[in-house]
Amino acid sequence: MEAFTTHTGRAVPLRRSNVDTDQIIPAHWLKKVTRDGFEDGLFEAWRKDPAFVLNQEVYKGATVLVAGPDFGTGSSREHAVWALQNYGFKAVISSRFADIFRGNSLKNGLLTVVLPQETVDRLQKLVEADPTAEVTVDLVGRQVRAEAPGHSKLTADFELDENARWRLLEGLDDISLTLREESSIVTYEANRPSFKPRTLEV
């Protein structure tokens, strides 16, 4: 996984709640067997509408998505995270993320930042007022910062559990970390009851 320390880029406001992973990447894209090439499928149905925010010239090249509450609900498809990354997003900010989506994002180095809804609203207004405003998502300092002329400077601290943060900052591979503890797995396996199910043909 690529490490995430701090990122500064322009942001795009997505004023919708309950954006499910079927909207982020529709099912027919899931037939691909790679982790790349999903960028054209990102929000595919909504992008057919010229007025959709991602189609607006001013938000071209934005790398931070400022989304409504309950982002990433529904299907567990990690393709949703890959699609956001393939398109160029480095971070997503929302007041609430669905659990599986959040887990998937942090395993791929897409930083999902939880801020209070009120702060998300302010940030959306700020980047709507000035689409050229730069937003910094700083994982080292656990802070989001944004500034635009005519708006008071926005500074918001966020929380992320220390272990997840460390893995992101270092870009660590979970499997290698777990395999350092292989002896614990072997011990656990040796003590499992014999009645536990096995999948071998009977």
Partner 1 sequence: MGRTLAEKVWDDHVVRRAEGEPDLLFIDLHLLHEVTSPQAFDGLRKAGRQVRRTDLTIATEDHNTPTLDIDKPIADPVSRTQLETLRKNCAEFGVRLHPLGDVEQGVVHVVGPQLGLTQPGTTVVCGDSHTSTHGAFGALAFGIGTSQVEHVLATQTLPLAPFKTMAITVDGELPEGVTAKDLILAIIAKIGTGGGQGYVLEYRGPAIEKLSMEARMTICNMSIEAGARAGMIAPDRTTFDYLQGRDHAPKGEDWDAAVAYWKTLRTDDDAVFDAEVHIDAASLSPFVTWGTNPGQGAPLSASVPDPASYEDASERLAAEKALEYMGLTAGQPLREITVDTVFVGSCTNGRIEDLRSAASVLEGRKIADGVRMLIVPGSVRVALEAVAEGLDKVFTTAGAEWRHAGCSMCLGMNPDQLAPGERSASTSNRNFEGRQGKGGRTHLVSPQVAAATAVLGHLASPADLSDAAVATPAGV
Q: How far is the CB of 101 from partner 1 (least distance, A)?
A: 8
9 near partner 1, rule: CB under 8 A: no
Phi, psi (deg, nearest 5) at residue 158: -130, 160
185 near partner 1, rule: CB under 8 A: yes
Q: Is the dihedral of CA 73, 100, 139, 60 positive or negative?
A: negative
Tell which one of 25, 59, 70, 91 touches partner 1 (CB under 8 A).
70
47 to 66, contacts with partner 1 by CB under 8 A?
none
Tell which one of 108, 112, 119, 124 touches partner 1 (CB under 8 A).
108
202 near partner 1, rule: CB under 8 A: yes
Q: Which residues contact 131 (CB under 8 A, 6 or more apart)?
A: 10, 56, 58, 59, 62
Residues comprising the chain, all counted: 202
Q: How far is the CB of 153 from partner 1 (least distance, A)?
A: 25
Q: Which is nearer to partner 1, 149 or 186 (CB)?
A: 186
Tell which one of 8, 76, 136, 143 touches partner 1 (CB under 8 A).
76
CA distances from 85 to 36, 41, 158, 176 (A): 9, 12, 21, 23
Question: Any idea which residue has 């790679």 for tokens?
Answer: 34
Which among 64, 186, 83 is positioned nearest to 126, based on CA atoms? 64
Q: In what order do the strands lie in the sheet with 64-67?
A: 111-114, 91-94, 64-67, 6-14, 134-138, 143-147, 154-157
142 to 171, contacts with partner 1 by CB under 8 A?
161-164
Chain residues that interact with partner 1, rule: CB under 8 A: 15-18, 20, 22-23, 26-28, 30-35, 45, 68-70, 73-79, 81, 96, 98-100, 103-104, 107-108, 161-164, 174-175, 177-179, 181-182, 184-185, 188-189, 192-202
